[in-house]
Structure 1
Amino acid sequence: MIKRIKPGKRFCGAVVVNGIVTTAGVTGDGADTTAQTRDILAQIDGLLAEAGTTKAKLISANIWLRDIAHFSQMNEVWDQWVDKDNLPVRATVEARLAAPELLVEIQVTALV
């Protein structure tokens, strides 16, 4: 069975299949990388909760930064949020995002 969470016009916020939840790339509001990362991780907490899981069950995370020079600002927020006893695998790359105001995008996969 497939469970679709927050379906939209083009994609779902997350999809649960065979006990695994995968989120879409999540973007956030805010004037800087720190604020956007906080907003994104709060949204991810909500998506994981709707799927019936938490960040303690993260498997992987993919992070896209508009400017890799903001890596440390994103990491400060990430380090406060992530469950240090259950770290996922993670990749972070610099990329041009869908709109100029977007500075960070994060996608995660977790066990339900």
Structure 2
Amino acid sequence: MSIQRIHSGPRMSDIVINGNNVHLSGMTAAKREGRSVADQTSDILKRIDELLADAGTSKEHLIQVNIWLSDITTFNEMNEVWDAWVLPGHTPARATVEARLALPDIKVEIQVLAALPG
């Protein structure tokens, strides 16, 4: 089975396709300083839509999502944005935990596993 890497860099690839599985690396918001959890979540979900399209799939085909929050008390704020974005009837398996993230201004990180359609 071949492995396809899209948007690859020296450390990681944004997208790895293995068979019918599309793996996205952990995504954080590009603009973070002074931005709320809701703003960061919205930016990340927009980027996820773009990357899934680059891979030939969409959020309709989500399988699993992992979400890390720097402060679990922002869970409801993140979920307001998530709930408006995710497609009813196509919700993935999901875990959300609090974690110390790579940089102090990162409030949210989201990692996705999706399937290719068909």
* Global fold match (TM > 0.5): yes
Query: Quick one: distance in 2 between partners of 1:104 and 1:93?
Result: 10
Query: Quick one: distance in 1 between partners of 2:16 and 2:91?
Result: 21
Indicate yes or no: 2:66 matched with 1:62. yes
**Which residue of 2 is the match for residue 107 of structure 1?**
111
Q: Which amino acid aligns with 1:54?
A: S
Indicate yes or no: 2:37 matched with 1:33. yes
**Structure 2: unaligned runs, 5 residues or longer:** none
Contact 1:67 1:103 in 2 (8 A): yes
Moved over 4 A (4+): none
Give matches, 1:1-112, under 5 Å.
Answer: 1-28=2-29, 29-30=31-32, 31-112=35-116
Q: CA RMSD in A?
A: 0.7
* 1:55-105, Cα deviation, whole Å (9 max, x unpaired): 000000000000000001100000010011111000000000000000000
Normalization by structure 1: what TM-score? 0.97
Query: Quick one: distance in 2 between partners of 1:97 and 1:84?
Result: 29
Matched positions, count: 112
Query: Quick one: distance in 2 between partners of 1:8 and 1:99?
Result: 20
- 3-state SS of paired residue (2:88): coil
- The CA deviation at 1:14 is 1.2
Query: Quick one: distance in 1 between partners of 2:111 and 2:57?
Result: 15
Normalization by structure 2: what TM-score? 0.92
Query: Quick one: distance in 1 between partners of 2:10 and 2:109?
Result: 19
- 3-state SS of paired residue (1:37): helix
Identity %: 51
